[in-house]
């Protein structure tokens, strides 16, 4: 396998980030849920303050994957963590250790930033991803469930006294 190059997203890359987000959503059968625009991603990645970060993985000058993450905080640990929102490797490039290399790069960045952990979510039907995550040493947080407020419920909560 030829060398992989990790390149941080820079202003002007939001369109390519959106392309990868849409490719991931299509794989997850969730393309109908993508509302993000290039302008949204440009603001989130490069606004003041930046709310997230992204990188591209290139092989032989071709982008073969990407990752997007942000920092969260653990009050119990008293330190922040790195939350991996998206990792996606193009299907024709899977099985070449690229996913492992992406997570390794993110782990290096997490440690360099003083993070105490890395976290992410996975769809329960995505057995290949779950196998991959177990293979790199991740463990499921089965005693925790994700809770979410969106749309009308979020608006109603904001309006409460």
Q: In whole angstroms, give the CA distance from residue 118 to residue 130.
A: 15
The single residue of 27, 71, 73, 133 carrying the catalytic annotation is 133
Our CA angle for 9, 60, 86, nearest 5°, is 40
Strands 118-119, 4-8: parallel, antiparallel or unpaired by DSSP?
Answer: unpaired
Q: In whole angstroms, give the CA distance from residue 132 to residue 126.
A: 10
Confirm whether 133 is a catalytic residue.
Answer: yes
- Helix-helix angle 14-27:38-46, to 10 degrees: 110
Q: In whole angstroms, give the CA distance from residue 161 to residue 144.
A: 28
Helices (H), the chain: 14-27, 38-46, 98-112, 127-135, 151-159
Catalytic residues: 133
């Amino acid at each position: 396998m030829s060398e992989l190059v990790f390149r941080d997203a820079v202003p002007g890359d939001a369109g390519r980030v959106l392309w990868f987000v849409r490719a991931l959503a299509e794989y997850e059968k969730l393309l109908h849920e993508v509302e993000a625009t290039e302008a949204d991603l440009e603001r989130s990645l490069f606004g003041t303050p930046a709310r997230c970060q992204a990188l591209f993985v290139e092989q032989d000058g071709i982008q073969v994957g990407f990752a997007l993450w942000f920092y969260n905080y653990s009050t119990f640990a008293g330190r922040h963590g790195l939350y991996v929102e998206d990792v996606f490797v193009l299907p024709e490039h899977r099985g070449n250790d690229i996913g492992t290399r992406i997570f390794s790069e993110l782990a290096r960045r997490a440690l360099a930033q003083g993070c105490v952990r890395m976290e992410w979510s996975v769809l329960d039907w995505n057995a290949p991803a779950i196998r991959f995550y177990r293979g790199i040493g991740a463990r499921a947080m089965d005693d925790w469930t994700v809770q979410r407020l969106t749309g009308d419920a979020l608006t109603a909560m904001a309006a409460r006294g």
